Amino acid sequence: MMKRVLITGAAGFLGSHLCDRFVNDGFHVIGMDNLITGRMKNLEHLVKHSNFEFHHHDVSKHIHIPGELDYILHFASPASPIDYLKIPIQTLKVGSLGIHNCLGLARVKKARVLIASTSEVYGDPNVHPQPESYWGNVNPVGPRGVYDEAKRFQEAMTMAYHTFHGVETRIVRIFNTYGPRMRLNDGRVLPAFIGQALRGEDLTVFGDGSQTRSFCYVDDLVEGIVRLLKSDYEQPVNIGNPSEISIAQFAEEIIELTGTEQKVIYKDLPVDDPKQRRPDITLVKKILDWEPKVTRQAGLKITYEYFKSLSKEELYEKEHMNFDKYIVR
């Protein structure tokens, strides 16, 4: 029988690419999203596919899926500072109530669960690069705490269901990922730089630009996730590209890529912004025989072509949605 997979956060950047992969691999895919930050545009090409169905639902509320279920991939969550600072309580709820509901469903259905954790569990790290054994340096009451601690709690809840109830679980710690379907206005550095270049604006660097990031192309990430899901490894696994670059250097790469003549301007560094971010991928190489294949130059070219294809309305869009009606006070 055809295997069935539930993907939460299906209309988001990563969720939609995962839907594509599993449909193409012959699964029946159930995509779920409340569309606070996700976009149906990301799933339009799948809506009429016989092996895809979409459920407009908030995973922080009880989840009902009729029939058998083989896998659950929990990718529902705001993932950018702009989003989770506007909807902090939803961010905490999707990492607590949301994962509780997914794990409860997995227990009933005897399904395997893979959760999307993040490099943000390491906070502003004191260890570089960051291995899975590092416990992190996180400020739980800082502005980023709602996201960081939601993901840390999500990992703890997942392991509790694994050890206490015997649920099959997998945990991926995702480092900076990019590619088509990112939102230009989501606050992350790559779409922010490309959006500014396309609009003829100066590129904004926060701090002195010496802080570093490592960017992984989305196809590489999806391949690693699929391998982890099918593996027997139950502890957290870093997946990302260890090729590290400073933000100042990255701004110059974007200016060269786009052929624009904008300047780079500098503003104050946000509170708790990580100074270094690079995955140690020794473990994933060993257990999954995985490492990134797409170079940053090749991935950026594809991503830039996607952003160039956006309409003028999308290019200048400041708000994806009115968040106020979703905020629980």
Architecture of domain 4-179+216-241+273-293 in this structure: 3-Layer(aba) Sandwich (3.40)
pLDDT at 319: 54
pTM of the model: 0.94
Catalytic annotation, residues: 147
Model confidence at 275: pLDDT above 90? no
Model confidence at 34: pLDDT above 50? yes
What is the percent of the chain with per-residue pLDDT over 70, rounded to a whole number?
Answer: 96
d(CA 51, CA 40): 17
Query: Could you tell me the pLDDT band of residue 300, with boundaries at 50, 70 and 90?
Result: very high
CA distances from 58 to 9, 37, 55, 182, 323 (A): 9, 12, 9, 21, 15
116 pairs with which residues across the strands? 172
pLDDT at 322: 44
Average model confidence (pLDDT) for the chain?
A: 93
Model confidence at 169: pLDDT above 80? yes
Which amino acid is it at 282? T
Angle among Cα 26, 224, 192 to the nearest 5 degrees reads 105
pLDDT at 184: 86
325: three-class secondary structure by DSSP: helix
pLDDT at 318: 62
Which has the closest alpha carbon to 197: 255, 150, 151? 255
Over range 128-144, report the average pLDDT: 94
Over range 49-55, report the average pLDDT: 98
Model confidence at 321: pLDDT above 60? no
Q: Please give the full DSSP string across 103-161, using - where no structure is assigned.
A: HHHHHHHT-EEEEEEEGGGGBS-SSSSB-TT---B--TTSTTHHHHHHHHHHHHHHHHI
DSSP state of 11: T
Model confidence at 320: pLDDT above 60? no
Model confidence at 140: pLDDT above 50? yes
Mean pLDDT lowest for which of 91-105, 238-252, 258-272, 291-305?
A: 258-272
pLDDT at 186: 83
Mean pLDDT lowest for which of 77-86, 93-102, 131-140, 310-319?
A: 310-319
Q: Are 238 and 173 in contact (CB under 8 A)?
A: yes
pLDDT at 156: 98
Span 228-270, pLDDT tens digits:
999 999 999 999 999 999 999 999 999 999 998 889 999 988 7
Mean pLDDT lowest for which of 101-105, 181-185, 274-278?
A: 274-278
**Where do the structural domains in the chain lie, given as residue ranges?**
4-179+216-241+273-293
pLDDT at 78: 94
| Burial of 21 from C-beta contacts in 10 A (0-12 / 13-18 / 19+) | middle
Query: Could you tell me the pLDDT band of residue 328, with boundaries at 50, 70 and 90?
Result: very low
Query: Could you tell me the pLDDT band of residue 185, with boundaries at 50, 70 and 90?
Result: confident
